[in-house]
Each structure stands twice: as C-alpha cells, then as structure tokens.
Copies of this chain bind each other. A is one copy, B any other.
C-alpha cells in the first residue's frame, strides 16, 4: 500500500480510502491511485486491515457442520456462502463428526481467527456445544437446535409439524397401523419428530401404545434390521414413518428385500436425490436447507450489524412431497 501511495504520489490514507471505496476522494486522485495499484498488482490485505478496523471485523465467519460432505450441510453452506459473499465475508467451514472434542478445538480455532460470527449446525448426535464464556457476545446462530446456556438465535425446521403431516397423510390413506422408525433419542430433532408423529396419531383416536416404535437407529444397517423385524412380525404395520434419511434408506432396503416395497406405505423425513426414481417414488417431508441457510445468514448479518433484539427461534416450514410410497393404501 505504501508503494502504491508513493507511485501515485499521494498519502497512504488516500490509497486506503480508494481501495475501500470510501467517499471524499476526488475523481482525479482516485484514478491516479487505481492506476498505480493496477501497475503494482496491488490487492488490499483484508486481514491486516482487520487489526484496526472498527469492531476488529475480520470479514470471516465460522461454520460448524456435521460434515462438509453431507448433502444437507452442503446446501446450508452454499446458501450461507451466497448471502455472505455479497458482503465480502468469507466462510470457514469445519466438520464435527459428532465429536465433542473436535467441536471444542474447531471453536477454539475459529476464535483464534477472530471470526465475526459463528453458525452452529449440530444436526446429529452431539450434545455439548460448550461455547467459551468469554465469547458469549459473539454473533451466533444455531441451526436445528435451541441453544443451551447461550442467548442466541436459532433456525429450525418445524420438526413436530412435519412429522404430524406425515402421520396425517398416512392416516388419510387409510392406515391405522403405522410404525415409527427413529433416530437416537438424545437428538432433540428426533424427539420432536416423534412427538409430532405420535400426537397426530393420538388425535386420530389411535392409542400410542399400539404404535410400533423403533428408536436409536443411527445408520442404514440398524434401520434395515429394525424394519425387517417389524415387517416380519406377526402383526406387521401397513405403513412406516422414518424420521431421517439413513433410516429411510435402511427401511427402503428392508422393504425391497422382503418384496413389500409396493405394499407397505413409507413416508420419510428429509428429501434426497433420486427419491422419485425409487420403486415406488418415496414420499417425504422435505426440509429446506437452502431457506434455512438464507434465514441463518440474515440473522447472523443482523447480529453482526449490531441487532440487539432478544434472540428468538425461527421456524422454516417443511413440505410434504408425494411420490408414491406414501400413497399406498393398506390391504383391504
């Protein structure tokens, strides 16, 4: 920057003004500076500037995801990127893998980079989210989980309502024996989905004690086994609601293996690629990770910009997508 100033024959502060597009520079000097910086291939150093910038803004935020390779996370990452890059904010993403220790060190690493904000997406099992005391005033938005011990915004899917929609849909198609296949009970969203599902079943006058429930299914294989057990029991369900993608996949496998994929109805929570290409197409309660990401970005930016409203939780509605599997009727 000094070099540019010298070459342009102006003070260093003028160069700073031009590079930051601040007002109060005559068009003539602006041109001079721009020309000089072009000649020298000069590029403003964002990080160096952060050292003195008001509020020490680094123009970067940290994003904690289950894994950057997970499709749901990817969508959120992308939506966030789009919203934040428009403001010149870059995002550091990191994968948690449900490992509390990893979580700690990632948060520490992000704090060490003085990020302007944090987005936390603990969709899976992880319980901790121990934000260091001293960074409680860092702008933060939680996704899919109500923050505990921190005052912060959250953006969540209407898990209970979505699950209730699934139940209502199956009930409307004549099912009365609908099984619930769920994720680990220590996951808040899983509990919400179960609650919504059972409440809707209850509203239909069906005692929840008669609902086949299998929980703590954490991967395709355990889900598949649970589904097979259910489906081969003496009084098998005529429909299944699966609370999460991997559980849905496992259930699909079980149905196919047993040749029941066209007999037993299935509604899964969470959409996935090629769901419409399955046999039959899989009816799902779709979340909208893109909208979640957009809303998250909006809240994070508001907080970064000094919004002092009391934190609240924003709900992004889910959507029932009919593709065939959820419209199968029970045998007469």
Contact = CB atoms under 8 A, between A and B. Distances in A.
B113 A90 contact: yes
A268 B85 CA distance: 35
Contacts of A134: 41
Given A47-B47, A112-B43, A71 B68 contact: no
A93 B68 contact: yes
B94 A93 contact: no
Interface stretch (A165-173, A227-235, A272-280): A272-280
Given A41-B133, A90-B109, A277-B278, A58 B67 contact: no
B41 A47 contact: no
A270 to B, nearest CB: 13
| Contact-residue size bin, chain A (C-beta under 8 Å from the other chain) | 35 or more
A79 to B, nearest CB: 8
Contacts of A48: 51
Number of copies: 2
A108 B71 contact: no
A81 interface: yes
The interface centre, meaning the residue of A44, A45, A90, A134 with most chain B CB atoms within 10 A of its CB, is A90
A114 B43 CA distance: 9
A202 interface: no
A148 interface: no
Contacts of A67: 74, 78
Interface in A118-145: 132-134
A132 B41 contact: yes
A41 B111 CA distance: 11
Interface string A88-110: 10111111000000000000110
Contacts of A41: 132-134
Interface of A: 41, 43-48, 50-51, 58, 60, 67-71, 73-75, 77-78, 81-82, 85, 88, 90-95, 108-109, 111-114, 132-134, 249, 252-253, 256, 272-274, 277-279
Given A43-B112, A45-B114, 10 more contacts: A41-B132, A47-B113, A51-B51, A67-B74, A68-B68, A69-B71, A71-B74, A82-B95, A85-B94, A274-B278
